[in-house]
Amino acid sequence: MSLFHAIGLIVTLVAVFGYLNYRLVRLPDIIGITVIGLVVSIAVAVIGSYDPSVAQWAQAAVSGIDFSQVVFHGMLGMLLFAGSLHVNLDDIWGEKWFILILATFGMTLSTFLVGTGFYYGTAALNLHLPYIYCLLFGALISPTDPIAVLAVLRKVGVPKNLETKFTGESLFNDGTGVVVFVTLLRIAGSGHDTSVPEVLRLHAEEVLGGIAVGVVLGYLGYYFLKGVDSYAVEILITLSLATGGYAIADSLHTSAPIAVVLMGLLIGNKGKEVAMSALTRRNLFSFWEFVDELLNLLLFGLIGLEVIALSLSLHHVMVGLLTVPIVLLARWISVGLPIISLRRFRVFMPNTIKIMTWGGLRGGIAVALALSLPSFAGREIIVGATYVVVIFSILVQALTIERLIRRWQSTANRR
């Protein structure tokens, strides 16, 4: 099956999943499509146990799409640009220190806690993974996925300041999380310890380089937008930033996610205010809202279908289920410590730690990072655990966060 035919099949299946969800299941679109994709994947596995040719055909179809490539060199740039385009820069700036602490210290702490917990947890199950690979798992699962978080936040209706914290953290800890993952992967691949100066150099290259590329290209895009008054051309300019700008940052070995987020923030704030007519603003933002919705549906449909291409056993699923509380505990600690430390300087709404812990969703980026891991003993364990944590995040946390926020807020108001 050619790549074109595989893509056509996936798009058609996701469209059918969306229709079935709307007509029968009535869950929120991204969650319902994921559920139906999982049900189809399980059904294919069951049928394949009786007729292996069905399973082989389905695996060939899904395997025609390289999930990591689709996410990192297809969807991610546009999804991050669309998400950051609608974020108010003044709001983000007002929470800059909190967001910075969570995206750096919180991410690093969570990586260590998850990696250590995963190391001892798998050892207790007689699965002896090298510690560096357990840390890799911690790095890929610790960042909250901005795609999943933003998709759910739009429907939950959290207070504005808390939404800003969620949004800012998820947009930036994704970039820092990828940096930590890449650094650990290089250490694991080298087969020996990397010096602290070398690690700091890699971080500076990725993070500072991503910031520099994002600011330069963002202002270049702003300059071009200011020089034309044609919404079609201006949409193309923003598309070039989300795709070409991402590719440039990636080819320079800098953090492409951080670069694209900064481009989106610049265009969505300075560009919107100065460089766009009212007609352009309306059409351009409507276009990116549509792109955001469409790619989200396709991504979560792929997450549901990807089970077909994975060799997951019941053992892998059990490891993943045991990993869920480790990930949640690490999230609670890595969010709670900064909030407790900052309470002497600022006021946080009640139950912020609980809300940010349960609302820290994982999504396609974690799966893509896991699937990008090279072959080694224990890779399937990490992939399986990642997938179970992501599915739990989407089907349990995302479905219950709105009800829990209302309950926690109601309890706080009665006090």
Residue 415 has a pLDDT of 60
Contact 175, 257 (CB under 8 A): yes
Give the span between the Cα atoms of 304 and 300, in whole angstroms.
Answer: 6
Placement of tokens 């989200």 in the chain = 296
Residue 326 has a pLDDT of 95
CA dist list (Å): 402 to 24, 94, 191, 355, 405: 22, 25, 45, 10, 5
Verdict on whether the full-model pTM lies above 0.75? yes
First-to-last alpha carbon distance for the chain, in angstroms, is: 62
Placement of tokens 């100065």 in the chain = 274
CA dist list (Å): 310 to 16, 305, 355: 22, 10, 32
Q: Which residues touch 77 (CB under 8 Å, ≥6 apart)?
A: 242, 243, 245, 246, 247, 256, 260
**DSSP assigned state of 27:** -
Judged on CB neighbours under 10 Å (0-12, 13-18, 19+), 120 is exposed
Nearest-5° Cα angle at 374, 371 to 380: 55
Alpha-carbon dihedral of residues 103, 106, 108, 113, nearest 10 degrees? -150
* Amino acid letter, 147: I
**Would you tell me how many other CB atoms lie within 10 Å of the CB of residue 196?**
8
The DSSP code sequence of 276-296 is: --HHHHHHHHHHHHHHHHHHH
CA dist list (Å): 160 to 28, 95, 405: 22, 12, 14
Give the span between the Cα atoms of 77 and 61, in whole angstroms.
Answer: 25
Residue 182 has a pLDDT of 82
Residue 220 has a pLDDT of 94
Q: Which residues touch 171 (CB under 8 Å, ≥6 apart)?
A: 80, 83, 84, 87, 146, 261
CA dist list (Å): 183 to 57, 72, 195, 270: 37, 17, 12, 33
Per-residue pLDDT of the chain (415 residues; tens, 9 = 90+): 566 676 777 788 889 888 998 888 888 788 888 888 888 887 877 787 677 776 677 777 676 677 778 788 778 888 889 888 888 888 888 888 888 888 888 998 999 999 999 999 988 888 888 898 999 999 999 988 766 676 666 666 667 777 788 888 888 887 788 888 888 887 777 655 556 666 677 777 788 888 999 999 999 999 999 888 888 999 999 999 999 999 999 998 888 888 999 999 999 998 888 888 889 889 999 999 888 888 888 888 888 877 776 766 777 788 889 999 999 999 999 999 999 888 888 878 888 888 889 888 888 888 888 888 888 878 888 988 998 999 899 889 888 887 887 787 776 666 6
